[in-house]
Amino acid sequence: MLFSPYRMGALTLPNRIVMPPMTRSRAADGNVATPLMARYYAERASAGLIVSEGTQISQQGQGYAWTPGIHDAAQVAGWLGVTDAVHAAGGRIVAQLWHVGRVSHTALQPGGGAPVSSSALQAQGVKVFVDPQGRGPLGGVGEMVQHSLPRALAIEEIPGIVRDYAQAARNALQAGFDGIELHGANGYLINQFIDSQANQRTDGYGGSLQNRLRFLREVVEAVAAEIGADRVGVRLAPLTTLQGAVDDTPQATYLAAAHLLDGLGVGYLHIAEADWEDAPVMPVAFKEALRMLYRGTLIYAGKYTVERAEEALAKGWADLIAFGRPFIANPDLPQRLRQGLALNAPDKATFFGGGAEGFTDYPVAEAAQTTDA
Ligand SMILES: Cc1cc2nc3c(=O)[nH]c(=O)nc-3n(C[C@H](O)[C@H](O)[C@H](O)COP(=O)(O)O)c2cc1C
């Protein structure tokens, strides 16, 4: 089934293989997507669907050095180069929109202020890659520093951030994307509102489950009003606890989120089971419950193999399967999977930052091997 076509809203995907969002930190000055990035994504256009790397909706939303933005004209023009190249190569691509919230550093914040979050709690668990001196020679990644202490958003500031999401969604369509994916996973801003231990607010955005889901709901409503709910996907990470995004009753919380998103008519729900090695086992009963509550397209990501993917599709709790790290190292991944060819191994040292090395120089399979179907 992995190699059968799938209809998703206005898009027809030639296969069920998704390239999930992966930050590669190679944007140019001004956080503008580059021709090299266009080449990288176009090389992977045989994916049923490409989701771009996390792309900030505002300067405040940036968390790492050299991640692309989509909040000014130069950034929109940069992305247009990417989407044109992907479409010319026969592919489909949506933009992953993120605001990292507290997973940032004063060096990246406008005016050097504190990063913002639902609450003034520091992210836990990982360090941020930033270059506090601004752009410099790349040694793979910028200097590693701890997160800065965030401040809680004043309630009056929240509508402005919701508007930034809506504007970014409009910009994404202008930049030629086929839709957008809201990053509600992995401990970034939306996730900082959802999870009970990250959100300590006592106003209408905290406390009850309904209140913790309010920011997600408002953002989805705003982007859907701008570009249509069928062009909106949402990524959630129910069971991972990245960057201190911990919920006391995650199954109840995320089933409620899935129900909410079903009611809002979003086009797809993208479940991140793993971010790297952090991969708690997700019970099948939970996946089946998600399927009952959410009637749109369901994508799963996290250490999938062809066998596990086929099983998920056959059991019916997934419609599409994302392959992350394998796609970094194998531009022709769908063909390799279909033909059972060996895979190139990804090189972690070149995941973040740098140029073509470890980005656009992974070889496709030998022509001789790929001619017999
Ligand atoms: C280098 C790298 C960067 C990533 N960046 C993002 C990101 O920007 N947004 C996101 O939602 N997930 C991100 N992820 C998580 C992937 O989308 C995916 O969920 C993860 O790699 C698990 O899938 P895999 O086991 O097939 O690699 C990243 C993963 C890697 C390896």
Closest residue CA from atom 3 of ligand 1 = 22
Mutate which of 2, 23, 24, 236 for ligand 1 pocket (most atoms within 8 A of beta carbon): 23
Does the pLDDT of residue 129 top 80, yes or no? no
Residues 308, 115: Cα–Cα separation, whole Å? 39
Per-residue pLDDT of 139-162, as tens digits, reads 334 444 566 789 999 999 999 999
Inside any domain, residue 88 = yes
Inside any domain, residue 261 = yes
Distance from the CA of 372 to the center of ligand 1, in angstroms?
32
Inside any domain, residue 147 = yes
126: burial class by Cβ within 10 Å (0-12, 13-18, 19+)? Answer: middle
Per-residue pLDDT of 80-106, as tens digits, reads 999 999 999 999 999 999 999 998 888
What does the pLDDT read at residue 106?
Answer: 84
pLDDT band at residue 133, thresholds of 50, 70 and 90? very low
What does the pLDDT read at residue 336?
Answer: 98
* Backbone torsions φ then ψ of 83, nearest 5 degrees: -65, -35
Residues 120, 58: Cα–Cα separation, whole Å? 20
Positive or negative: CA dihedral 44, 24, 190, 258: positive
- Domain range for residue 283? 6-370
**To the nearest whole percent, how much of the chain has pLDDT over 90?**
81
What does the pLDDT read at residue 253?
Answer: 98
Mean pLDDT confidence for 219-227: 98
Inside any domain, residue 176 = yes
Q: Identify residue 274 by its one-letter amino acid code.
A: A
Positive or negative: CA dihedral 302, 308, 312, 313: positive
The finding on whether 244 has its CB within 6 A of some atom of ligand 1 is no
pLDDT band at residue 277, thresholds of 50, 70 and 90? low
Closest residue CA from atom 6 of ligand 1 = 22
The finding on whether 321 has its CB within 6 A of some atom of ligand 1 is no
Closest residue CA from atom 23 of ligand 1 = 302
Per-residue pLDDT of 238-276, as tens digits, reads 998 888 889 999 999 999 999 999 999 999 999 999 766
Inside any domain, residue 260 = yes
The finding on whether 96 has its CB within 6 A of some atom of ligand 1 is yes
Distance from the CA of 341 to the center of ligand 1, in angstroms?
23
The finding on whether 270 has its CB within 6 A of some atom of ligand 1 is no
Q: Which residue is listed with tokens 């990063």?
A: 115
Closest ligand 1 atom to Cα of 325? 27
Closest residue CA from atom 20 of ligand 1 = 275
Per-residue pLDDT of 307-316, as tens digits, reads 999 999 999 9
Residues 23, 132: Cα–Cα separation, whole Å? 19
Residues 232, 226: Cα–Cα separation, whole Å? 10
The finding on whether 184 has its CB within 6 A of some atom of ligand 1 is no
Inside any domain, residue 212 = yes
277: burial class by Cβ within 10 Å (0-12, 13-18, 19+)? Answer: exposed
What does the pLDDT read at residue 145?
Answer: 56
What does the pLDDT read at residue 64?
Answer: 85
Per the structure, how many domains does the chain have? 1
Distance from the CA of 267 to the center of ligand 1, in angstroms?
21
* Backbone torsions φ then ψ of 241, nearest 5 degrees: -125, 35
Mean pLDDT confidence for 103-124: 89
Closest residue CA from atom 21 of ligand 1 = 324
What does the pLDDT read at residue 279?
Answer: 64
Inside any domain, residue 106 = yes
Distance from the CA of 22 to the center of ligand 1, in angstroms?
5
Q: Give Cα separations from 190 to 137, 155, 313, 328 (angstroms).
A: 33, 15, 28, 26
The finding on whether 187 has its CB within 6 A of some atom of ligand 1 is no
Inside any domain, residue 1 = no
**64 belongs to the catalytic site:** no
Does the pLDDT of residue 136 top 80, yes or no? no
32, 36, 41, 45: CA torsion to nearest 10: 140
**The domain that contains 157 carries what CATH number?**
3.20.20.70
Q: Which residue is listed with tokens 């992953």?
A: 96
Does the pLDDT of residue 137 top 60, yes or no? no
Mean pLDDT lowest for which of 46-55, 292-301, 321-330, 349-358?
A: 349-358
Closest residue CA from atom 25 of ligand 1 = 303
- Which of 188, 205, 268, 294 is catalytic? The answer is 188
Q: Identify residue 269 by its one-letter amino acid code.
A: L
The finding on whether 308 has its CB within 6 A of some atom of ligand 1 is no
Per-residue pLDDT of 8-53, as tens digits, reads 999 999 999 999 999 999 999 999 999 999 999 999 999 999 999 9
Residues 6+ apart with CB under 8 A from 294: 258, 259, 261, 262, 269
What does the pLDDT read at residue 27?
Answer: 95
The finding on whether 359 has its CB within 6 A of some atom of ligand 1 is no
Distance from the CA of 321 to the center of ligand 1, in angstroms?
13
